[in-house]
Each structure stands twice: as C-alpha cells, then as structure tokens.
C-alpha cells in the first residue's frame, strides 16, 4: 500500500500531513528516506517517523465496552495496548464505547462529515410532548450553530417517564444533554446502544470484548474506509 495511506491508518496524521512529513525527510523505510507515493509492505518493511517505528495495521486493536455509570473507560478496560475511546460518554451516561488505536477509523467515526449514525436510548422524567419531540427531530440552536436533524422513536410514554430512541448523524459533545437543557427536560438515564453497525447485543454492563474481523470490516465500511 502507499506509505501515506499506511501512516494515516496508523494515526500518525492525515494523508496530506503525512506527505508533508515525507517531503521534510522525517519518514524512513528500512532506514532510507521515504519518497512521495512510495509503495510499502507493512508486514516486511520498517517504517519510522521521526525515528519512531510505526505499527503494522495488523497490530491495531478494536474493543467494545458496555460502560457503567460513574466509571471511566480506563477503570473498566484492561489492555496492554495504547488504545483510546472513539468519542465520549460522560460519567452519568452508560452504554457503548469503542476503543482503538486505528487513527483513521477514529477520525471517520467522530468527524461530522461522515455521518456515522449513533443511537441512544434516553429516559426523560414525565411525559414529553409531541411538539417537543418534533423540535428534537428538526434540531435546535446550540452555541456552535444549528444541529442536523435527528431521528426520534418513542419507545414508551406515560405521565411518569418517556423513553425515546434518538439517532444522531452529527453528534457533538453532550449534545443530548444540552438539548434537554434547552427544552427544559430532565434526563433520568442516557445509554448509547449502537455506533454504525456495532451494538451491545450479548455484552453485559461493565464488560468488554474485542470486535470480530466481520465487525471491524462492517464498521470501516460504514465510515467509508
């Protein structure tokens, strides 16, 4: 594969930035200065950036965690790899978190441009009016501007609580909680249940596991990789 693609996958930088590093002489292949567009074999060649060897794509790790409330990701996932969460859930929220050291996939899953859907199950205090649900679907003004539309499905509703399934295509930091504040709603519980094709089926709260090759492939496809 092309060296800039390999290094972008490894999370070094975007392909354009990688090309700049190559032109600056900061990338080597088998101890020789790399060239733009150079083809490399990640399994055989030794690729270094600023003297640091870069992992083969085969060494990437992909983990799914069913996060508990009030605990951090690092408190729940034990691994020798330096992996990082894809996006965030605050301490009051639970559910699906992906962790990986695949930089390009992380960028695709978190950048609004790629529209990888994330689904949340949200429990609100009291009955949420249909007009309010309509405002959530259409998007409302937050500090950084008007949000994209969301898809909302009512799972249950009575005078005591309302359970909504909310699908976001362009999630922002604490977006659902900030929407609740704007609409004067009180959230009892917030759980992320899917990211793209990945869901929590069969994974108990507080547990984690590695993604299967089929899941990794489906996730990359959803992100346009």
Check which CATH number belongs to the domain holding 102 and give it: 3.30.70.580
User: Domain residues for 47?
Assistant: 3-57
Separation CA 79–CA 51 (nearest Å): 26
Collapsing DSSP to helix, strand or coil, 4 comes out as: helix
CATH number at residue 144: 3.30.70.1560
Position 31 pLDDT exceeds 80: yes
Q: Are residues 71 and 47 in the same domain?
A: no
* Torsion sign over Cα 49, 53, 58, 59: negative
Q: Are residues 69 and 16 in the same domain?
A: no
Position 222 pLDDT exceeds 60: yes
* Active site (catalytic) residues: 90
60 with 53: CB under 8 angstroms? no
Separation CA 107–CA 162 (nearest Å): 34
Q: Residue 168 contacts by C-beta under 8 Å, 6 or more apart in sequence? A: 117, 118, 119, 120, 148, 150, 175, 176
Separation CA 201–CA 212 (nearest Å): 13
CA distances from 71 to 65, 74, 77, 83, 177 (A): 12, 8, 11, 17, 18
Position 57 pLDDT exceeds 70: no
Q: Please state the domain count of the chain.
A: 3
Residue 143's pLDDT band (cuts 50, 70, 90)? low
Residue 63's pLDDT band (cuts 50, 70, 90)? very high
Q: Are residues 66 and 19 in the same domain?
A: no
pLDDT at 175: 84
CATH number at residue 12: 3.10.290.10
Please give the model's pTM, rounded to 2 decimal places: 0.74
Q: Are residues 187 and 121 in the same domain?
A: yes
Q: Are residues 125 and 188 in the same domain?
A: yes
Q: Are residues 130 and 185 in the same domain?
A: yes
Q: Are residues 168 and 72 in the same domain?
A: no
Mean pLDDT of 164-171: 87
pLDDT single digits (tens) 85-136:
888 889 999 999 999 988 878 888 887 777 889 999 999 999 999 999 999 9
Q: Are residues 32 and 132 in the same domain?
A: no
Q: Are residues 90 and 158 in the same domain?
A: no
Encode 99-111: b = buried (16+ Cβ within 10 Å), e = exposed. Answer: bbbbbbbbbbbee
Collapsing DSSP to helix, strand or coil, 54 comes out as: coil
Q: Are residues 154 and 209 in the same domain?
A: no
Domain boundary among 57, 77, 96: 57
For the ranges 103-107, 157-161, 212-216, the lowest mean pLDDT is seen at: 103-107
């Amino acid at each position: 594969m092309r060296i800039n693609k390999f290094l972008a996958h490894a999370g070094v930088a975007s392909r354009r930035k990688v090309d700049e590093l190559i032109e600056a002489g900061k990338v080597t292949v088998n101890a020789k200065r790399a060239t733009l567009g150079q083809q490399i074999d990640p399994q055989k060649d030794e690729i270094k950036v600023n003297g640091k060897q870069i992992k083969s794509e085969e060494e990437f790790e992909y983990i799914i965690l069913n996060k508990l409330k009030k605990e951090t990701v690092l408190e729940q996932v034990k691994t020798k790899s330096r992996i990082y969460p894809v996006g965030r859930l605050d301490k009051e929220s639970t559910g699906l978190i992906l962790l990986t050291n695949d930089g390009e996939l992380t960028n695709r899953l978190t950048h609004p441009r790629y529209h990888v859907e994330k689904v949340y199950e949200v429990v609100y205090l009291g009955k949420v009016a249909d007009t309010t649900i309509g405002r959530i679907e259409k998007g409302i003004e937050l500090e950084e501007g008007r949000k994209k539309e969301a898809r909302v499905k009512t799972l249950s509703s009575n005078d005591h609580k309302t359970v909504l399934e909310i699908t976001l295509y362009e999630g922002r930091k604490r977006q659902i909680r900030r929407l609740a504040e704007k609409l004067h709603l009180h959230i009892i519980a917030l759980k992320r249940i899917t990211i793209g094709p990945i869901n929590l089926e069969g994974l108990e709260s507080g547990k984690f596991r590695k993604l299967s090759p089929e899941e990794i492939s489906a996730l990359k496809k959803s992100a346009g990789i």
